[in-house]
Each structure stands twice: as C-alpha cells, then as structure tokens.
Structure 1
C-alpha cells in the first residue's frame, strides 16, 4: 500500500543531530532503505519536517521504520494511506 510518512522533529534534538551528523545520516539510511517515490523536506509548525511517499508492504514494517525517528529525534510521525491518480481511477471504477 502506498503511504505517506510525515516526520516532525523535535527542534532541540534536531539541532543537536545536525551538529553531530546524525540527521543527515538517518535521512540517507532511510532514503536508501525505503526508496521512496517522492521525498520532501521543509518547515511545518515550526519544526523540521519530512514527507516521504513509499510502498508499505506490511504493517510490521512500521516499527523498524518509526523507531529511529522516535528514539533519536523525539519525532512525531504519521503514516497515511494515499493514492495517485491511477489508484483513484481504479478505485472509482469499482463503485457501482
């Protein structure tokens, strides 16, 4: 299932991790592992935030994806099921 992960980083923890090199390291590891079809980075609600769209094959993948964000950055995470235009058309065609 295609999902969008949104991670908002605690500012103090993110500041520290930028200076120690942990933030770029985690981002590279995460991008290499998830191979997202899209990844964006920017501020939201005064926090460093990333949005990644990728295929979540099984819900058991959530803990290993989420834990580094929680433990290293006190991040707030959301996993949201999403569709692209093709997915939407396929779903709408099944409505009778």
Structure 2
C-alpha cells in the first residue's frame, strides 16, 4: 500500500551534518534504501521536513523505512495511508453510502 511519510528533522544533528558536509550523502543513502515514488523537502513548523510517497508491502516494512531517519537525524516520522483516484473509485463508496448513510 502507498504511504505518505512525513519526516520532521530537528535542527540537531541535521545542522552538524550540513556543517561537516555529510547531510547530502546520508539523505542519498536513505533515498537509495527506501526508494520513494516521490520526495519533497520543505519547512514545517520551523523545521526541515521531508515528504515522501513510499510503497509499504506490510506493516513489518515500516521500521526499515523509518529507522534510517530516526538513527541518522533523530527525526520524527509519521505514516499515513494514501489512495490514488483509481483506488478511491474501487473503494465502493456508493455501496458504503447505501449501507451506512
């Protein structure tokens, strides 16, 4: 299933990794490992933030995706299930509306 992963990077150790020229290499290693479908970097609540769309085959895959961010950046990770428009069409909303509406 597709998950939206939001990663909140605290200022430290990220600042130190930037100053020592290691931040880009660490991020590249993580991207090679998690292979996101999409990756964006932005600011959120005054912190650096990464937003990634990742494929998660099972719940057991979550640590392999999150641990690199935890261990290298002391980051906070949030996972949310996401659907494409096709997924939403296949969800049976009309039938759910009839049953629960």
Same fold (TM over 0.5): yes
Task: Tell me the CA shift for residue 13 of structure 1.
Answer: 1.2
CA contact (8 A) 2:3 2:53 kept: yes
Alignment gaps of 5+ in structure 2: 97-101
Q: How does 1:6-85 map to 2 (within 5 A)?
A: 6-85=6-85
Segments of 5+ residues of structure 1 without an aligned counterpart are none
Aligned length: 96
TM-score calculated relative to the size of structure 1: 0.87
**TM-score normalised to the size of structure 2?**
0.83
For the aligned residue pairs, the C-alpha RMSD in angstroms reads: 1.7
